[in-house]
Amino acid sequence: MPAARLCLPVITALLLLCALRALLASNGTSALTELLEEAEITPSHQLTGIGSHPELQTTSHPAKMQSAEDGGSAQGHDIVGFEMVKWQWVHVQGPFLIAVWILVASLAKILFHLSSKVTTVVPESCLLIFLGLGLGGIVLAAAKKPEYQLDPDTFFLFLLPPIVLDSGYFMPSRLFFDNFGAILMYAAIGTLWNSFTTGTALWGVKLAGLMDRKVEAGLLDFLLFGSLISAVDPVAVIAVFEEVHVNETLFIIVFGESLLNDAVTVVLYKVFNSFAGIGSENIQALDYVKGVGSIFVVSLGGTAVGIVFAFVLALISRFTKRVRIIEPLFVFLIVYLAHLTAEMVSLSSILAVTFCGLCCKKYVEANISQKSRTTVKYTMKTLASSSETIIFMLLGISAVDTSKWTWDTGLVLFTLLFTFVFRAIGVILQSWVLNHFRLVPLDRIDQVVMTYGGLRGAVAFALVILLNSQTIKAKDYFVATTITVIFFTVIIQGLTIKPLVKWLKVKRSDHHKPTLNEELHERAFDHILAAVEDIVGHHGYHYWRDKWEHFDKKYLSQLLMRKSAYRIKDDIWDVYQKLNVRDAISFVDQGGHMSSGKFAFASMPSRTSFSETSVTNLLRESGSAVCLDLQVIDTVRSGRDREDTVMHHVLRENLYKPRRRYQGNYSRHFIAQGEQERQEREVFQRNMRSRLESFKSTKHNVYSSKIKCRHKKEHKCQKRRNAEGINGQVPNDKLQRNVSWQDTVPVFVEVDSEDEEKDKSTKVREQEDDEGITFMAKAANENPQERKFSGNFEYPQSPSVIPPSPTCAEKELPWKGNQGDLPACVSSETNKIVPVDLQYAWKQSTSSLESLVSPPVSDAVFQPKALDFMLEECTVSAALPVPRHPIHFQFPCTAGERSTDEDTMESIQQQELQPLMSAESDSRPVPSAGLVSTRWPAPFHRPSYVSALRSLVTSTQYNIKQPEKSGNMQTNL
Amino acid sequence: MGSSPSLPAWEIRNLVHTTGFTSEQIEILHRRFLHLTDGKPTMCRDCFDNIPDLECNPIKSRIVNAFFDRRNLGLQSNGTVDEITFENFLTILSFFQHMDENHAKEDLEYYKMEKLQFLFRMYDTNGDGKITLEELREIIDELLSKTSNTEKTSSSIADAAMMEAANICVGEMEPDQQYDGITFNDFLKIMQDIKIEAKMHVRFLNMDTTAICK
């Protein structure tokens, strides 16, 4: 079939061409119209064009015929009856265009943000509207008819819910309810006031004859118009206020108002709309009563729907333990159902979604896994952002359509004036009332911003488009006016609000992160205030909040949260966790600077030189990286671990982690000072400091650092492994257990890390990358004394012993270059390591590499082994005069014996907690420890503190050989 | 308690002057006071047990203690008293008064200090002018008690909080320097970001709602 073979490339090329055209068309070029017209061509029309192929008449697909038409001479396969490629534009038209539109909007966003200057001055919403105007103009010019307008149904059913959900879900609930009174007042009374005054004033203007006579509208029409034009729009408010960082109270009031006024707007709109339909003469008194009543029904009903669905959602999320992967879906589905349900029974859907998001958050967040949480957050933000983008763009496009609107300068100008003036008056009056009750009164500046922040948006537009032009004669005028008002508020006010806020010196939101103490005190406040209200016998806000919290804790949380989540759930604990993450990040931050500064020691060169290390290293590194990922996924999937782990496990985790990271630190440089006790104390002290100061980091951070430090660890591990291999002590079965124990790790630790990280700039992440190395540098820097100490004995070893191993070489160079006494230490270490390395490790590199391949195992093995190894070194150096090599080999044996004896869970715990167990004596640490501590900002060695920490540990019994043991224990677990 | 003896006018005037409450508020509070004490002129600790809502407050004992703390009552020595009069009661409650913005700046500052002092004393149970780690742990224990957390959590949080406090207050410490507790000055530093005047505030009624309800 040469013909078919021939036509295949032709058809493909054609398809590409058409796709390109479609794309171009959607971009607004003139090709659009052609394409659309082509797509809409009726079969009969086409048949005339391809009359030479009568067989085609049988095929009903117009698109295919079109391709046949275009294909021209290459035809032939149609006759055969089988088509390899079909042109099916009609088939995909709808979704295709939607996708292309979203793509265009998103690309536009990228373009806007190419220039940071533009976006800092002009809000994105403005730019999008301009883009929409431009695109709409092109489409209009090309198609001669308006396309792609903002369709009210699309808007209310698809575009609005994501935005409202996003704002409801991420609403700071405490802040919201603290200001609930003010928000409610502005939303309800403010909107009513605005609607009625604007409507009546416009009517008055009409009566006064300042408007075109063609504007046929009575009082009801104007009231209807007033109701839709007076509502502050959530989409516009979010879009603009997100970029203006006013203080949170101000923001929550404007924002909350924009969300909650939906009920009032919708009700007023519906009431007046139906009244206008009935005709003012037919309205009975009962209708007014119904109208007023419907405000309550719609708002409370919407809220109730939201709360009910929130309850359902929270309850469902409690049982998704084994289907983690679809957890996020539940969130979206149920919230969307809430929206649709509210729409269905004509309640306020915005309220439903807002309250659903607001109420479910606490429980859902506690129940779902961290991954799901991230997914939910990102998906929500993505959806909301794209909806917003599309809304503004479509607004711009819709405005171009001149057929729908009729301009009347009088109406437009007066509407602008009235909406602004009456909002100002309303805000001032209400603030005056509210200030009698508020703790922090709203001052003049706040009121100005609130007035100015009264942006109108797409909701008003959608509502005005929905008007029935039969009953509302002046619809076209209203549409024009609405569009103008929206554009004016979004563009002019949006542009100027930032300078205004700056000029008025509005209190900005201070982004200081919560400190643990603040959280503690605030918590104490709540209780104190509630107690005082109890004592005074006045049931005020604090009383009810306390009651609610009590109820929530006692019943709701029990019902809606998983047991494990419930246990962990606590504000203070949350802050604690967050702080840890923050500290870790700041540590990394600090480290990044340090590494570039005077603290750049061994690690710096080690990094660079490591990059040139052997292939095996690289292989190993990549292998381990993979394994990390796998492990994470595994643990998340397993799901059970979270349930299994209780509070103290988390704690222990936290205690354990620093130590894990520590290994690199103290194992390397922690060369014993002769007595075990000192060692312990130092471990404890350093660990405490490090834990609280810096690395109490998350798994994530550990991972990243691990990856980075992989080389070093691997070197050591491998050496260790080889050494062990010689002793016949590669505990494979025990490794397994280690892994399983570690399963719990990522679940908990990641919880906050990811959350936190999302907010971090990429810069931080980049710095994070340096973490591992930096860490090493600090470690090296930390204990010069020890180094000196060790150096005395070990330096004598001849440099010739140093093998071609990169580790050694790297370690060597920097020390020599920088500090006098430092080289001793490192070289000593390397010397110590080298022989082992040379003799065993490198010979068996291939075999060890193989053992590294299996991911989780290798990961689990690495650190413990490294630690073990390092600890050994410590002890080695403790027993100074003894030749190094023999000891080195002996140790694993003894370790193995010991560990088998005490291979119990308790010992694991002990070992995990070991760093926190202080030595019996509470005295000041030895000088070296003090020296070490210098770099930590706030070491405090207080007896009480020490003892308090000691009490942390269940098993106070402390073995002098603990460090060794623990190290070995770990290997064997 | 219809037969509650109302305070003599001169005393109310006196109290208005010393505590800053309005006379209406004082009368309401006096009625409440008598209700709690069963008509006795002084109040003892047991009186607070009559308040059912207070039972579920995790830091109840601390709050009750504050009412009997000599330092809060303007007495010089440390320790607690056994019984307080209505005036003492008002003095304690006046810590929770709302501060009007139209006061002089120094006054506002003074009130803020007073409030912070009150809080500080609530933490500093033994009255040595320092919130030690143990004291911090105690209060965290109490705050967390409702969530059935283990002791370890609270102590590790206390450690972290103490560490943070040391960081904020002292900054870089010498290696052999010890941080043995949060002094009041440190406390001020810690609390500087919290708008205490806006938070530590209870609305005192000018009208007796309980009377209306009954």
- Per-residue model confidence as pLDDT tens digits over A410-468: 888 888 999 889 999 999 999 998 888 776 778 888 888 888 888 888 888 888 888 88
Residues of A in contact with B180 (CB under 8 A): 940, 942, 944
Which residues are within 8 A (CB) of A562 and not within 5 positions of it... i.e. 6 or more apart? A318, A321, A366, A367, A642, A643
Identify from B56, B128, B186, B197 which residue to disrupt to test chain A contact, counting A C-beta atoms within 10 A and taking the largest count: B56
**Which positions 773-812 of A are in contact with B (Cβ < 8 Å)?**
none
Cβ–Cβ under 8 Å, residues B64 and B48: yes
Inform me whether the pLDDT recorded for A886 exceeds 50: no
DSSP code per residue over A903-969: -SHHHHHHHHHGGGPPPS--SPPPHHHHHHHTTSS-----HHHHHHHHHH-S-----TTHHHHHHHH
Tell me which residues of chain A, numbers 441 to 460, contact chain B at a CB-CB cutoff of 8 Å: 441
Q: How far is B85 from chain A (nearest CA, A)?
A: 15
Residue type, B147: T
* Among A22-26, A74-78, A359-363, the range of highest mean pLDDT: A359-363
The partner residue sitting opposite B53, judged by closest CB among A534, A945, A952, is A534
Interface contact flag, A517 B172, Cβ < 8 Å: no
Interface of A with B in 659-718 (CB under 8 A): 688, 692-693
Cβ <8 Å between B143 and A572: yes
What is the percentage of chain A residues whose pLDDT exceeds 70? Answer: 49
pLDDT number for residue A513: 62
With a cut of 60, say whether residue A939 has pLDDT above it.
no
Q: Which of A536, A651, A931 sits opposite B204 (nearest CB)?
A: A536
Provide mean pLDDT across the span B53-72: 76
Assess whether pLDDT exceeds 70 at residue A871. Answer: no
Q: Which residue has the higher pLDDT, A625 or A415?
A: A415
Work out how many CB contacts closer than 8 A connect A with B: 207
Written as six digits, the tokens of A93 are: 């038209």
* A592-to-A115, A666, A687, A767, A775 alpha-carbon distances in Å: 29, 20, 21, 6, 9
How do strand B130-131 and strand B84-85 relate by DSSP bridges?
unpaired
Task: Search chain B and give the residue with CA nearest A931.
Answer: B175
pLDDT of residue A7 exceeding 80, the answer is no
A contact residues 933-972, partner B, Cβ 8 Å cutoff? 933-934, 937-942, 944-945, 948-949, 951-952
Please give the radius of gyration of chain B, using alpha carbons only, rounded to the nearest integer.
Answer: 19
Query: Of A97, A99, A252, which is closest to residue A173 (Cα–Cα)?
Result: A252
pLDDT value of residue B128:
75
What is the pLDDT at residue A661? 39
Q: Does A546 touch chain B (CB under 8 A)?
A: yes
- Cα separation, A194 vs A850, whole angstroms: 75
**Residue A509 confidence (pLDDT):** 65
pLDDT at A692 (0 to 100): 56
Considering only CB atoms, A942 lies closest to which of B155, B171, B178, namely: B178
Inform me whether the pLDDT recorded for A930 exceeds 80: no
Question: Could you tell me the end-to-end alpha-carbon distance of chain B, in angstroms, rounded to an integer?
Answer: 12
| 3-class SS of residue A508 | strand
Please report residues of B whose CB lies closer than 8 A to that of A924: 176
Closest-CA residue of chain A to B203? A540
**Alpha-carbon separation of residue A384 from A160, A242, A274, A657, B85 (angstroms):** 8, 13, 32, 37, 59
Best residue of B130, B134, B156, B177 to probe chain A, by most A CBs closer than 10 Å: B156
Residue A669: name the closest of A857, A828, A842, A459 by CA: A828
Residue A370: which of A756, A755, A760 has the closest Cα? A755
Q: Residues A559, A560, A563, A566: is their CA dihedral positive or negative?
A: negative
A320 CB-near residues (< 8 Å, 6+ apart):
A326, A327, A330, A367, A368
Average pLDDT for residues A486-513, to the nearest whole number?
Answer: 80
Nearest to A170 by CA among A585, A759, A652, A603: A759
Q: Is the pLDDT of residue A6 over 70?
A: no
DSSP class of A515: P
For the segment B32-37, the average pLDDT, to the nearest whole number, is: 80
Residue of chain B minimizing CA distance to A691: B160
CA distances (Å), origin A722, targets A435, A719, A730, A844, A950: 75, 5, 9, 7, 37
**Token representation of residue A152:** 């009210």
What pLDDT was estimated at residue B130?
A: 77
Interface test with B, best of A940, A951, A955 (most B CBs within 10 A): A940
- pLDDT > 70? residue A27: no
Contact B149 A948 (CB under 8 A): no
Among chain A residues, the shortest Cα distance to B137 is held by A948
Asked if pLDDT for residue A4 goes beyond 70, the answer is no
pLDDT band at A794 (very low <50, low <70, confident <90, very high): very low
Mean pLDDT, chain A, rounded, equals 63
pLDDT of residue A946: 42
Query: Is 60 exceeded by the pLDDT of residue A788?
Result: no
Can you give the pTM of this predicted structure?
0.61
Amino acid making up residue A579: L
A556 touches chain B (CB under 8 A): no
Average pLDDT over residues B182-187: 77
pLDDT at B97: 74
Cβ distance A535 to B54 less than 8 Å, yes or no, reads: yes
pLDDT at residue A855 above 90?
Answer: no
Q: What one-character-per-residue DSSP string does A822-843 give? A: HHHHHHHHHHHHHHHIIIIITT
Residue B209 pLDDT > 70: no
Tokens of A96: 């295709």
Query: What is the per-residue pLDDT for A429?
Result: 92
Show Cβ contacts of residue A458 under 8 Å, excluding neighbours closer than 6 positions. A150, A155, A159, A160, A233, A235, A236, A391, A392, A395, A486
**How close A592 comes to chain B (CA, Å)?**
19
Q: Does A578 touch chain B (CB under 8 A)?
A: no
Instruction: Pick A488 or B14 by higher pLDDT.
Output: A488
Pick A918 or A134 by higher pLDDT: A134
The residue of chain B nearest to residue A952, with distances taken between CA atoms, is B152
How many Å lie between the alpha carbon of A938 and the closest alpha carbon of chain B? 5
Which pLDDT value is given to residue A759? Answer: 40
- Running DSSP on this structure, what letter comes out for residue A85? S
Q: pLDDT tier at A336 (50, 70, 90 boundaries)?
A: very high
Indicate if the pLDDT at residue A499 is higher than 80. yes
| Residue A5 CB coordination number (10 Å) | 9
Of A518, A533, A569, the CB nearest to B193: A518
Chain B hits for A937, CB-CB cut-off 8 Å, are 167, 171-173
CB of A758 less than 8 A from some CB of B: no
- What value of ipTM does the predicted structure carry? 0.85
What average pLDDT score do residues B120-139 get? Answer: 77
Please report, in angstroms and rounded to a whole number, the separation of the first and last CA atoms in chain A. Answer: 68
Within 8 A by CB and 6+ apart from B15, the residues are B7, B21, B26, B87, B90
With CA atoms as reference, the chain A residue closest to B168 would be: A938
Q: Provide mean pLDDT across the span A21-34.
A: 43
Task: Evaluate if residue A498 carries a pLDDT over 60.
Answer: yes
A:908-927 residues touching chain B, CB 8 A cutoff: 924
pLDDT for the residue B156: 73
Across A184-198, A502-516, A911-925, B85-99, which has the greatest mean pLDDT? A184-198
**Among A170-179, A685-694, A810-819, B105-114, the range of highest mean pLDDT:** A170-179
pLDDT of B39:
75
If pLDDT is split at 50, 70 and 90, which confidence band does B206 have?
A: low
Which of chain A's residues have a Cβ under 8 Å away from the Cβ of B211?
none
Q: What is the mean pLDDT of residues A577-582?
A: 69
Q: pLDDT per residue over A84-93, tens digit each?
A: 888 888 888 8
Percent with pLDDT over 90 in chain A? 4
Q: Do B134 and A944 touch (CB under 8 A)?
A: yes
DSSP state, A324?
Answer: G
Contact B163, A938 (CB under 8 A): yes
Identify any residues that bridge with B85 across adjacent strands, giving them in sequence order.
B42
Identify the pLDDT of residue A356.
92
**Average pLDDT score, chain B:** 72
Half-sphere exposure of A753 (CA within 13 A, CB side): 22
User: According to the model, what pLDDT value does residue A751 have?
Assistant: 37
Which of A524, A527, A952 shows the shortest C-beta gap to B156? Answer: A952
A954 versus A551: the higher-pLDDT residue is: A551
**A502/A134 Cα distance (integer angstroms):** 31
Is the model's pLDDT at A706 over the cut of 50?
no
Window from A231-245, A350-364, A752-766 with minimum mean pLDDT: A752-766
The reply to whether residue A692 touches residue B163, judged by beta carbons under 8 angstroms, is yes
In the predicted model, is pLDDT for residue A687 greater than 80? no
Is the confidence at residue B177, as pLDDT, over 70? Answer: no
Given a cut of 80, is residue A181 above it in pLDDT? Answer: yes
C-alpha dihedral (A618, A623, A628, A632), degrees to nearest 10:
150
**Residue B147: predicted pLDDT:** 52
Tell me if A573 and B157 make a contact (CB, 8 A cut-off). yes
Q: What is the pLDDT of residue A606?
A: 32
Q: What is the DSSP letter of A183?
A: H
Residue of chain A nearest B193, judged by CA positions: A518
Averaged pLDDT for residues A936-944? 41
Higher pLDDT, A691 or B138: B138
Q: What is the distance in angstroms between the Cα of B15 and the nearest Cα belonging to chain A? A: 17
Interface contact flag, B53 A572, Cβ < 8 Å = no
Q: Which residues pair with B42 in a beta bridge?
A: B85
Per-residue pLDDT of A133-174, as tens digits, reads 888 888 888 877 666 677 888 888 888 899 889 888 888 888
Q: State residue A444's pLDDT score.
A: 85
pLDDT band at A594 (very low <50, low <70, confident <90, very high): very low
HEC secondary structure over A537-555: CCCCHHHHHHHHHHHHHHH
* Pairwise CB contact (< 8 Å): A647 & B202: no
Closest partner CB to A516 (pick from B122, B161, B210): B161
- Write out the two tokens for B98: 């709302």
At A687, list the tokens. Answer: 């660990």
Residue B42 to residue A775: CA distance in whole angstroms: 63
Residues of chain B found within 8 Å of residue A923, distances taken between Cβ atoms: none
Asked if A511 has any chain B CB less than 8 Å from its own CB, the reply is no
How would you write chain B as a 3-class SS string?
CCCCCCCCHHHHHHHHHHHCCCHHHHHHHHHHHHHHHCCCCEECHHHHHHCHHHHHCCCHHHHHHHHHECCCCCCCCCCECCCEEHHHHHHHHHHHCCCCCCCCHHHHHHHHHHHHHHHHHHHCCCCCCEECHHHHHHHHHHHHHHHCCCHHHHHHHHHHHHHHHHHHHHCCCCCCCCCCCEEHHHHHHHHCCCCHHHHCCCCCCCCCHHHHHC
pLDDT score for A341: 93
Residue pair A643/A873 in contact (Cβ under 8 Å)? The answer is no
pLDDT score, position A339: 93
